Amino acid sequence: MQRRRFLAASAAALLVPHLARAEDGPVRMRDLYNKDLTFSDYAKSMAGQRIAVEGFMAPPLKAESNFFVLTKRPMAVCPFCESEAQWPDDILAVYTSRIIDTVPFNVKIVTSGKLELGTYEDPELGFVSRVRLANAVYERS
């Protein structure tokens, strides 16, 4: 039985090699910010690199999208923000290279992607973010 588990885990690792987790496990969203909502030294040092973050997928803003919001707590509605000044420290914009398969809002996921910092307004959705993961993948945790 242990051999089967090992083979299944090995096959899964080969099928999803790009779901890179941080060496110490997923990063907490609060580790990306200082108390004054500036970016933490950790976030600045990891900008442009792949990190993993655990959270919940908020309901997407539109169907057949490659974008979703990762939240610290389950949310039944999307926490759409109007400006960077209102950007909370417990959500993260996530951009994937494929159309997302939605996950129920109360199921925890781990998302891995390239950390991008700075204000960005999505040209299609108008969603303004200060921090996001690009070329991201996700799986149930």
pLDDT tens track for 37-85:
899 999 999 999 999 999 999 887 777 889 999 988 887 665 554 445 4
6 phi, psi to nearest 5 deg: -60, -45
Give the least confident one: 3-17, 27-41, 60-74, 87-101: 3-17
State the pairing for strand pair 50-57/128-140: unpaired
Nearest to 71 by CA among 53, 96, 88, 92: 92
Looking at every residue in the chain, the average pLDDT score rounds to 79
Q: Can you tell me the distance from the alpha carbon of 42 to that of 47, in angstroms, rounded to the nearest whole number?
A: 9
pLDDT at 32 over 70: yes
Asked if residue 121 has pLDDT above 80, the reply is yes
Q: Give the containing element (helix H, strand E) for 9.
A: helix 2-15
User: Would you say 125 and 82 are in contact if contact means Cβ atoms under 8 Å apart?
Assistant: no
Q: Does domain 18-140 have CATH number 1.10.3720.10?
A: no
Q: Is the pTM of this model over 0.95?
A: no
Query: Does the pLDDT of residue 11 top 50, yes or no?
Result: no
